[in-house]
Homo-oligomer: A and B are copies of this chain.
Amino acid sequence: MSESPRRKIPEAALGRLPIYLRILVDLSHDKVTQVSSEQLAELAAVNAAKVRKDLSYLGTYGTRGVGYEVQFLTYQIQRELGLNQSWPVVIVGAGNLGQALANFTGISERGFHIVGVVDKDETKIGTVVGGVRVKHADELTQIVQAKHVSIGIIATPAQHAQEAADALVKAGIGSIMNFAPTVLSVPRDVNVRKVDLALELQILSYYEQCRNNGLRSVPTGNQSDSVSA
């Protein structure tokens, strides 16, 4: 299967495809069948030329004078992002954050499903979060291999994040999403994305301070998202 992705998509564009995708799904829900780059740009709060350029990395799926067919474009973006299948995901850490993630419906609605949650804390083991029973961290490798998991989420405290990463790597995982505020050290072929809540707040703090000092310098065109590189 799969006409493989024609070329590699630039990081910046890649980060916007999921946004377009979500908007398209919403539009489809509203029975909209066609959409122009202009409309899509408006909904995504970006430039229309950017939308067209981003979409052109996927192929030539628009019709001049008309726009894009919502259903078709939705399918193409999904295919490109590998969202035809539902990816099994394992969560390491069953604390507040781990539980919230496991219960987060947005994950299961958008191409992923939680197949395991592990922790080292005996009091958490056996409890059920997000529909799965929490297991001991020692069982991580077994879960990963049995369920063919390639994406792992680290939701442990910072001081345990590296060992969680090591365990995930050893279990054979290829991609890690890290919520702990730590820089992980992993083999080169393992892909890591991090989300650092405090970091984002600190950036807001900077702009708030600028504002208070009279230097009105909100980054031109607000609505930033976190970037990984």
CB distance from A154 to the nearest CB of B (A): 12
A150 and B223: CB pair below 8 A?
Answer: no
Nearest neighbor of A178 in chain B, beta-carbon distance: B223
A48 near B: Cβ within 8 Å? Answer: no
Assembly of this chain: how many copies? 2
Cα-based distance from A181 to B151 in the complex (angstroms): 20
Interface of A is mostly: mixed
Interface residue ranges of A142-197 to B (CB < 8 Å): 150-151, 158, 174-175, 177, 181, 183-186, 188-197
Total residues of chain A contacting the partner, CB 8 A: 88
0 or 1 for each of A191-229: is its CB under 8 Å from B? (1 = yes): 111111111111111111111111111110111111111
Chain B residues whose CB sits within 8 angstroms of the CB of A208 once the complex forms: 82, 87, 150-151, 174-175, 191
Please list the residues of chain A having a beta carbon within 8 angstroms of any beta carbon in chain B.
2, 4-5, 8-9, 11, 14-15, 17-19, 21-23, 43-45, 80-83, 87, 89, 96-97, 99-101, 103-104, 106-107, 109-112, 150-151, 158, 174-175, 177, 181, 183-186, 188-219, 221-229
Given A192-B222, A225-B228: 5 more A-B contacts, CB < 8 Å? A4-B215, A43-B183, A97-B100, A174-B207, A226-B227
